[in-house]
Amino acid sequence: MDFFISKDWLNRNLESYAFKFDHILLVVILLLIGFFAAFYLMKKDKKKVEIVLIVLWIVYTISMLSYYCLLWSLCIAKPNEYQFNISSMLPLHSCNMLMFVFPLAVFVKNKIIRTAASNFLVVVNMIMGFITLFVGCPPVGYSAFSFSGVHSILYHALDVIIPLIMLTTRYYDLKKNDVYYGMSLFGILALAVWIFDATTGSDYFYHYDGHTFPVFKFISENVPAIVWTLIIVSCYVITGVVVHIGVVFAKYLVGDTLPHL
């Protein structure tokens, strides 16, 4: 069963297959399929686009939950080999948020909530998924064409493809002031996950792990945890605002009308 389960949380010294030929090949294939699907759907009506988006979200959710359910079942069936670890075995990473936020963008009728969720997906989730496709996939210890590798790359690719379809088809027509709603949602999610992290010793939103730059390390070690968390959340939000502005101007460059406040 080890073939199906990522070993990265068991042994950090395993070989990484990131940026090898099979990894890049699979990422490029999936992203090309996503781009072609997005442009094909541009001429379809909103209802058909919505059906495609919902199907992709279902695939994403099944892919995500099947992995965690398999992992949890192994912890129950083989407790001597697999121990449940609340700090790494829940779908609470930033790149998992699409599973929870997508229904708010599609099924909720409230306009503010739909706008906040859609903006979050298009601005934050898409860029996080794209980055993780290259720097966080495949899981340590597995090639891209192993079960665990394909699973990881597939759902991170959907982190990019689903928001891309929403944007290119104008299922979500991004407006300039939407950033206030999207970044507010992002801040709420980041703080909620931080509370969970702080109470369980986890680090799903990477508030603590990986801050090796001297300035970050100095700040994180010399300020209260809540202050450091607010700094990290602010960095997330600022990055989201910058990406949002880039998307707005990209629309303008391709001939769209620049939205007004």
Tell me the pLDDT tens digit for each residue of 41-57.
988 888 999 999 999 99
Residue 72 in tokens: 């949890």
Cβ distance 175 to 77 under 8 Å?
Answer: no
Cβ distance 69 to 85 under 8 Å?
Answer: no
Q: In this predicted structure, what is the pLDDT of residue 2?
A: 45
User: Considering the chain, what is the average pLDDT of its residues?
Assistant: 77
**pLDDT over 80 (residue 105):** yes
Cβ distance 22 to 143 under 8 Å?
Answer: yes
The CA distance from 46 to 251, in Å, is: 19
pLDDT band at 257 (very low <50, low <70, confident <90, very high): very low
Work out the angle at residue 94's Cα, subtended by the Cα atoms of residues 92 and 96, and round it to the nearest 5 degrees: 60
DSSP assigned state of 181: H
**pLDDT over 90 (residue 106):** yes
Residue 245 in tokens: 């502005």
Closest CA to 57 of 113, 2, 117: 117
The CA distance from 145 to 41, in Å, is: 29
Q: In this predicted structure, what is the pLDDT of residue 212?
A: 47
Closest CA to 171 of 42, 59, 31: 42
**pLDDT over 70 (residue 133):** yes
Q: In this predicted structure, what is the pLDDT of residue 206?
A: 64
Contacts of 248 (CB under 8 A, 6+ apart): 174, 176, 258, 259
* pTM: predicted TM-score of the whole model, two decimal places: 0.78
pLDDT band at 166 (very low <50, low <70, confident <90, very high): very high
The CA distance from 103 to 112, in Å, is: 14
